[in-house]
Structures are given as structure tokens and as C-alpha cells.
Chains A and B, each alone.
Chain A
């Protein structure tokens, strides 16, 4: 028996060893005009499985059918040209690598799926190719385990989107990886019946459906950039879908959702940024099954016409920890009706008007979405065209005036977050010049402040342009609006008070932030808001800007702040205590804001000169001193040449010299006829600039007085010792002949006027 076994092994060795010795090792076949192979097909005939075919430049005919396990490597961008017939390249054997080619000129028959590259075998790698003038880009049919990486794909330019082919179509092909591709002006990236697909870090722009899932489960879509397609990511009849950290921006097609879900289950949507779309998230029949779930968490939905659109029957969604920022409408029920039961918890809402008395970062009263127009919008989506029109404000006002027509809240968030999330780094828009953007928080805060400055915080219309590099021209209706606004301004400036505040009150729960405050300001007048922290100065400024609701009335040049909020905000320039800006240069910042506010760019030069910024125009903003930075903030507020300026503690962080120079600028603006309302803690600043002083204490209006009445009023609360020193330093300053108080700092305790320690720096 042993002998027989030994003979068997010997025979096996004799058979196998010569065969193994005869197998050639993998080799590289060169295709080039000088040989050794002059065509890819000739090299393919000669190649063995495992060989590499290196193709050096040239234009090669199609169809190219690869049915051996080889690596085709293009050097110097060889072209495979289909000349308009059929599919150009077909990869028909497992484990093929196809890399470094330009593939162009497929046929145009959608029925035949004419493609640049057709993959019909498993475990193929298609990498770093350029596909152009092809109907479909890469069509993977029953090609499990295929990797599509780093390809640049576009379609036939002569066709409309619907007639173009898909950039990538994955058909019955599980375990496919799609990453680092750039896809533009094609129809869809669509996955059919293909589980366990990962789509990551691609850029997909200018197409129809950025990513479309059909009957496809266990999918991961992460860190992609989807820009200006008709629809961003549309998930239909699929389950176990993770959509994470994608930027989805500018989807403005007929439905124009960033993310859409139809009859989907077990959906997790995490930390995406959905900006400037018709709709942020659309839910129909999702979750689909009673045991299914849908978790929407930590996303930023900003500047969309509608943040979330739900079909009435949709229930079981959890919206947790998202930031809803300046959307035209936060939530709409399509078709109207009553909303299903969904959880809204811990989200931040830019239209939240509650307060956080205990400072725990969570609002103390619930957020309720109950805008009247949103209700109408749900019943008739075509009303979206009115979204930014004055008609909407009129409707909202009517709804507030006649509570009978005020709809029930569509959602209630019992624990709203006070602060929005910072914009994550992946959502940064690449800036060609000048310089890089600073951190995410800076950008997001800048946007928020831009909203305040441009006075467009409630409609977001012009803020959207930040995300629309091409949209630098104004729509005609905006131009005519601005023209008429200018005429109204001119006609009324000399006839009406600049600012008329009547009996304005604001209450946060039991706390009175403002109580029956009245004030009238004329052109050329400067009025100081004086009071300790929490007196109501900033609340009053917010009310004037229309950022919060209030009782009473505020008229700016005769226009009602609530009825004509948009027009009113355009009449106001706002300078906050500190403006967070990018690290662009001064001039670039001015140019950017100029475009944003649709101001006359010729004003930039004059403002740079007027505010002493001309010598600093090329410096990056972070390199500016505090004083220069505040000058820049003032210049930005003046771009629109507003008749009214609101300044909130603008000199708080300036040194003495910078402060006085800044006040000098403001005084000059007053002389030019601008009305200035400013909050300040500094007595000498108020005395130098203000004509009148509005005294506030814990929201109460103590009085409106001439500026000369302020110091005597405060005398009784300043100790005799400090009074003596004040008088001494005033005399010294006068003796110096410069009218300024120098660098001396005195601290006075205002025992009765300010129960806590108030400080006057002089």
C-alpha cells in the first residue's frame, strides 16, 4: 500500500512540477507607436492572465473588449474612441484593472445602455480614467466587488439631463465601492438591486439625481459633495441606509430636495450639511414598516426654502440635535392635514424667540413651528414662488392679528438648543482667492452676523448668494424693489423721524426684557442707550432689526418694522461689538459684502478712504488691530449707505486712541445726516457723541434726556473721592488742550444706578 502511495505522489510530482515550471511569470506588454505592440487588441491576444498591458498614448479604436485577467495601464492619457457606436470599453473578466485612459464617443441608445465602460465581471478596478462624450459613464452589471475610484465622468453635452445616461449605474452588483470620483453634467448615479455598496468622497454636480438608490439595502453614503443637481440623494424602496457627513448644496430642480426618502426603512442621517436647496429633507412613507426607524441627527439645514417636508402619514422619525438655520420654512406638511407623530428634540432653530435663563444652553420654553404661510405651503407647494415676497409677511401678520386663522403647531421641540452647530470643515466652500477661510465656527458665525447686518435674517434670499458663486446679478424684481426703496427713502427722509419707537415691550416668559420703551430720533441725531448689562439695550437693538417679536411699534422712516420688515432692515446698518470675519483681505471682504448686499461697488473706494482703511486694504483681516477691525465693520455697515446706524458696544475692545478716532468717525457720519443709536457703558463716549440718552434699567425706560443731564444724574452715585478725581482729570485733559481725557483709568461704583459693580473706563 505504501509503495502504491509513493508511486502516486511521484507521478503527481512528475506531472505538476513541469507544468509549474512552464507557467510564465506575469509580464508587461507595451503598446506604443514604436511597438512592440501597436494596438491594444494585439497585446490582448498575446497576454496571459495576470499580465500588465501598458498603453503609451495614442488614439485606439473601440469596441475594446477585455476578456482576460489583465491590468491595462494608460500612460500619457491614451484615448479609446468609440466614434459614437456602442459601448466603448467592456471589461468582461474578473480582476481586471483599467487605469489611466480617456474613454470617449459611446453610442447614444439608452435602451442598449451604451456606456463608456461596461463592467460585466466581478472584482474589477476602474481607476483614474476620464470619460467624456459617453451616454452612460460606467455601467456595472453583475460586477460584484467592483471598485470605481478617481474617475472623472461626464456625459454627452448635446442632450438634456433626462436624455443623458447615468454617470454610474450599478445593477445587481453587491459590494461595490465608489470613491473619489468627480461626476458632472450627467443624469444619475443610480444603484439598483445592489446591497452593501459604499459611495464615499465623490463630487457630484450638475446632474439630475446626485445619488439614487432603488431597491438597494445596506448602503453607506458618506463625505460626498453634491452640488447643484436637480435632487441630491433620493432613497427609494431601500433599507439600512447610512447617509453621513455629506455636503448637499444648491439643489433646485422641480422637486429639489437635498435628501428624499420614499418607502425607506432604517435610515440614519448623520451630520450632513444641507444648504440652499428647495427642500432639505423629504419624507414619504419613511420609515416604511412599523418596526423601522429613521434617525435624523446632528445635521445642519440652512437657507433651504423648506427644511423638512413630510407627508401627513409619515411618523416615527426622530429629528434630534439638528440645526435649522434661516430656512424659509422649517417644516411643511405636504398636502396639509395633521402631522404624524415624530420626535423633535434638542434642535436649534434660528427663529426661536425663547430664552435660556439658567444658561444651560437649552431654551426654557418649547419651540413651536406654527407659521401660517408654512401651513398654506404644505397645501399648495406652488406657493413656494411667494416665499420671499411681502405677501408672506402680510399673511403672517394677518395670522398673528387674527388668531382664529393661526394654524396648530406642526411640530414642538420641548428642549430646543440655543446655539447652532458649527459648520464642519467638509462643508467649506473652496475659495479661489484671496486666502483661506478660517475655522468653521467663524464662517457660520459670519453668516449669522451677515444676516443681521444685511437685515435678511428672515428670508435668507440674499444670503443664499453666498453659496451661488455665479449668481452675482440681481433679479429684476430685487432691483426694482431697491429703486423704489431708494425713492421712498429720499422722499421721506426730510419729513419723518428716522426712528420712532412707541411703547415697545418684550417679555421672555416671566422676564420683562423691555417694558413700554418709546423713543424718537431725527436725521443727524445720535442717541445713546445707557444701562447696565441686562438693562435691555441689546434687546431693543434686536427689536429694531426685526430679529425678535415685540409688542408696540417701531417705524423707520415711516415704515412699519413688522409690515415692511425687509425694507426697514435695508435702511439700517448694524455694527456689533465684534464681527467675526474670514481671513480675506480688507478689500476682498468689502467686495464680498458688497456683492452680498448688492451695494454699489464704487462705494468701496470711498469708504476705504473715509474710514482710514486704504493703507490696510491688502492686509488680511486677522492682521488688523481691534480699532481697524471695527472700522471695517463700520465700513461694511455703510456699504448700503443706510440712513440709520445701530452700534452695540462697538468700542468695548478698543484702546483709548482707537476709541476716540472711532468716535470721531461716527461724529462725522452724524454731521452727514445719519441717525446713530448706540449702546455704551462709557460716560465720556456718550458725552462726546450723543445728543440724547435713553436710560434703561432691567428693561424699564428710566428716561430720555439731553446728554448734559446724564452726568449730574450720576453724580449722587459716584463717591466724593472719585468725583474729585474725575474733576481733576477733566481739568488736566482740558489743560492739555486736546479735549480728550488721556490714558487715565478710573473706576467708579454706581451703587444705586447699577446694583452690581459697573465700571467706567476713562
Chain B
């Protein structure tokens, strides 16, 4: 009986304890998960973004501009920021990605932001979209944090 009680206690501790942050990219269930910033359905991997808190919790976003805006408002302690390579739709760490902003890109919240995994790729996308190349630091400094609405 004691063994069972110990086992249950252990399970409860494991269940309640959380697992802490990992370096793995988060999972988004497309067409189901909602953007933590704007509440909209996350549908398009190429624009989707996320960050993992130091607690291991994940915040998911419909667009890069949503992520930047949300972080500026909430000032969460973030372990890793993640974005998608626009063409391959593979996850890439935001601090290792290259960003393109263009008024011709119709991203979900109108910020016109996409990301690329390599610099070469980023230059090509910037040419295609007549866009500006940015770093993640530029975005986080608020230089191009997406559309600021008209109010």
C-alpha cells in the first residue's frame, strides 16, 4: 500500500512540476491553435511564430509581428523565440534567422514580415518582394514591429 502511495505521490509531483524549457521547436496545431496575441486561428506555417518561456510554457502566434508585439506588451522571460523559414516552412530560431519586411507581403496582421533561414535566401526574398532586410534585434528594438494600428 505504501508503495502505491509513493508511486501516486511521485506521479503527482511529476505531473505538477513542469518540465522546464527545451531547445526543441514548439508544436502548433494548425487550424486549431489560436494566436496568443490576437486570438485568431493560426493557419499558415510560413507566417507562424512562437516562443518558449523559461518556465517551459509556449506562446503561439499567427505572425511574427504578433509575437513581437505580444512580447513588447508582456515582457515575458523567454528561453527561445522561433519563426518559420518562409519557403521551406521549417522552424528556425529567431535569433539565427533573417527577416524581410515589405508592404507587398500580406502577412496575417499586416506587418509584412517573413523570415528566412539563410542570408542568401533572405537576400533573394528581399529582391522578390522589394523588401528591407532586418535582424531579430532590429525587430525586438521595435524598428519594424509590425503594424501599429490606427487608434
A263 interface neighbour in B43, B110, B149, Cβ under 8 Å: B149
Q: Contacts of B17 on A, CB cut-off 8 Å? A: none
Q: Contacts of A284 on B, CB cut-off 8 Å? A: 39
- A170 CB to closest chain B CB (Å) equals 13
| B33 in contact (CB, < 8 A) | yes
Q: Which of A84-92, A230-238, A406-414, A508-516 contacts its partner?
A: A230-238
Q: A208-B43, A230-B41 are in contact. Are A215 and B31 (CB under 8 A)?
A: no
| B40 in contact (CB, < 8 A) | yes
The answer on a CB contact under 8 Å between A254 and B151 is: no
- B83 CB to closest chain A CB (Å) equals 17
The answer on a CB contact under 8 Å between B39 and A253 is: no
Closest residue on chain B to residue A311 by CB atoms? B39
Q: A214-B110, A253-B41 are in contact. Are A161 and B150 (CB under 8 A)?
A: no
- A228 CB to closest chain B CB (Å) equals 15
Q: Contacts of A234 on B, CB cut-off 8 Å? A: 40
| A289 in contact (CB, < 8 A) | yes
The answer on a CB contact under 8 Å between B41 and A208 is: yes
| A616 in contact (CB, < 8 A) | no
The answer on a CB contact under 8 Å between A288 and B38 is: no
Taken together as a complex, chains A and B put the C-alpha atoms of A239 and B149 apart, in Å, by: 11
15 pairs, CB–CB < 8 Å, chain A vs chain B: A161-B43, A192-B110, A209-B40, A230-B41, A234-B40, A237-B151, A254-B31, A254-B32, A254-B33, A254-B34, A255-B41, A262-B39, A263-B149, A263-B151, A284-B39
Beyond A162-B30, A214-B109, A288-B151, list 12 extra A-B contacts (CB 8 Å): A192-B110, A208-B41, A215-B110, A215-B149, A230-B41, A234-B40, A236-B38, A239-B151, A254-B33, A254-B34, A255-B39, A263-B149
Per-position 1/0 for B139-151, Cβ under 8 A of A? 0000000010111
Closest residue on chain A to residue B150 by CB atoms? A215
- B33 CB to closest chain A CB (Å) equals 7
Q: A208-B41, A214-B110 are in contact. Are A160 and B31 (CB under 8 A)?
A: yes
**CB within 8 Å of B: which of A128-168?**
160-163
Q: Contacts of B110 on A, CB cut-off 8 Å? A: 192, 214-215
**CB within 8 Å of A: which of B113-151?**
147, 149-151
| A260 in contact (CB, < 8 A) | yes
Taken together as a complex, chains A and B put the C-alpha atoms of A234 and B62 apart, in Å, by: 15
Per-position 1/0 for A282-294, Cβ under 8 A of B? 1010001100000
| A265 in contact (CB, < 8 A) | yes
Q: A237-B149, A239-B151, A289-B151 are in contact. Are A162 and B39 (CB under 8 A)?
A: no
Instruction: Report which residue of B41, B44, B110 has the largest number of chain A beta carbons within 10 angstroms of its beta carbon.
Output: B41
Q: Is the interface of B mostly helix, strand, loop or mixed?
A: loop
Instruction: Report which residue of B40, B43, B110, B147 has the largest number of chain A beta carbons within 10 angstroms of its beta carbon.
Output: B40
Q: Contacts of A217 on B, CB cut-off 8 Å? A: 150
Instruction: Report which residue of A236, A254, A284 has the largest number of chain B beta carbons within 10 angstroms of its beta carbon.
Output: A254
Taken together as a complex, chains A and B put the C-alpha atoms of A160 and B39 apart, in Å, by: 20
The answer on a CB contact under 8 Å between A162 and B41 is: yes
The answer on a CB contact under 8 Å between B38 and A254 is: no
Per-position 1/0 for A103-145, Cβ under 8 A of B? 0000000000100000000000000000000000000000000
Q: Contacts of B41 on A, CB cut-off 8 Å? A: 162, 208, 230-231, 253-255
- B84 CB to closest chain A CB (Å) equals 14
The answer on a CB contact under 8 Å between A161 and B38 is: no
Q: Contacts of B30 on A, CB cut-off 8 Å? A: 162
Per-position 1/0 for B79-117, Cβ under 8 A of A? 000000000000000000000000000100110000000
Number of B interface residues at 8 Å Cβ cutoff, please give it: 18
- B93 CB to closest chain A CB (Å) equals 24
Taken together as a complex, chains A and B put the C-alpha atoms of A289 and B38 apart, in Å, by: 18
**CB within 8 Å of B: which of A193-247?**
208-209, 214-215, 217, 230-231, 234, 236-237, 239
Q: Contacts of A262 on B, CB cut-off 8 Å? A: 38-39
**CB within 8 Å of A: which of B11-64?**
30-34, 38-41, 43-44
- B146 CB to closest chain A CB (Å) equals 11
Q: Contacts of A253 on B, CB cut-off 8 Å? A: 41
Taken together as a complex, chains A and B put the C-alpha atoms of A415 and B31 apart, in Å, by: 42
Closest residue on chain B to residue A256 by CB atoms? B41
Taken together as a complex, chains A and B put the C-alpha atoms of A427 and B147 apart, in Å, by: 37
Taken together as a complex, chains A and B put the C-alpha atoms of A263 and B151 apart, in Å, by: 9
The answer on a CB contact under 8 Å between B34 and A215 is: no
Q: Contacts of B32 on A, CB cut-off 8 Å? A: 254
Closest residue on chain B to residue A217 by CB atoms? B150
Closest residue on chain A to residue B41 by CB atoms? A254
- A676 CB to closest chain B CB (Å) equals 50
Taken together as a complex, chains A and B put the C-alpha atoms of A236 and B149 apart, in Å, by: 9
- A365 CB to closest chain B CB (Å) equals 36
Taken together as a complex, chains A and B put the C-alpha atoms of A288 and B38 apart, in Å, by: 14
- A108 CB to closest chain B CB (Å) equals 14
Q: Contacts of B151 on A, CB cut-off 8 Å? A: 237, 239, 263, 265, 288-289
Taken together as a complex, chains A and B put the C-alpha atoms of A275 and B30 apart, in Å, by: 26
Taken together as a complex, chains A and B put the C-alpha atoms of A253 and B31 apart, in Å, by: 9
Instruction: Report which residue of B33, B38, B109 has the largest number of chain A beta carbons within 10 angstroms of its beta carbon.
Output: B38
**CB within 8 Å of B: which of A496-548?**
none
Q: Contacts of A214 on B, CB cut-off 8 Å? A: 109-110
Taken together as a complex, chains A and B put the C-alpha atoms of A231 and B39 apart, in Å, by: 11
- A471 CB to closest chain B CB (Å) equals 21
- B39 CB to closest chain A CB (Å) equals 6
**CB within 8 Å of B: which of A571-611?**
none
Taken together as a complex, chains A and B put the C-alpha atoms of A231 and B43 apart, in Å, by: 14
- A126 CB to closest chain B CB (Å) equals 21
Q: Contacts of A282 on B, CB cut-off 8 Å? A: 39
Q: Contacts of A265 on B, CB cut-off 8 Å? A: 151
Closest residue on chain A to residue B149 by CB atoms? A237
Closest residue on chain B to residue A237 by CB atoms? B149
Q: Contacts of B33 on A, CB cut-off 8 Å? A: 254
Q: Contacts of B106 on A, CB cut-off 8 Å? A: 113
**CB within 8 Å of B: which of A269-289?**
282, 284, 288-289
Q: Contacts of B149 on A, CB cut-off 8 Å? A: 215, 237, 263
- In the A-B complex, the 3 residue pairs with the closest CB atoms: A162-B43, A237-B149, A254-B32
Taken together as a complex, chains A and B put the C-alpha atoms of A373 and B148 apart, in Å, by: 37
- A621 CB to closest chain B CB (Å) equals 43
Q: Contacts of A288 on B, CB cut-off 8 Å? A: 151
- A673 CB to closest chain B CB (Å) equals 49
Q: Contacts of B43 on A, CB cut-off 8 Å? A: 161-163, 208
Q: Contacts of B44 on A, CB cut-off 8 Å? A: 162
Q: Contacts of A263 on B, CB cut-off 8 Å? A: 149, 151
- B151 CB to closest chain A CB (Å) equals 5
- A610 CB to closest chain B CB (Å) equals 50
Taken together as a complex, chains A and B put the C-alpha atoms of A160 and B32 apart, in Å, by: 12
Q: Contacts of A163 on B, CB cut-off 8 Å? A: 43
**CB within 8 Å of B: which of A156-190?**
160-163
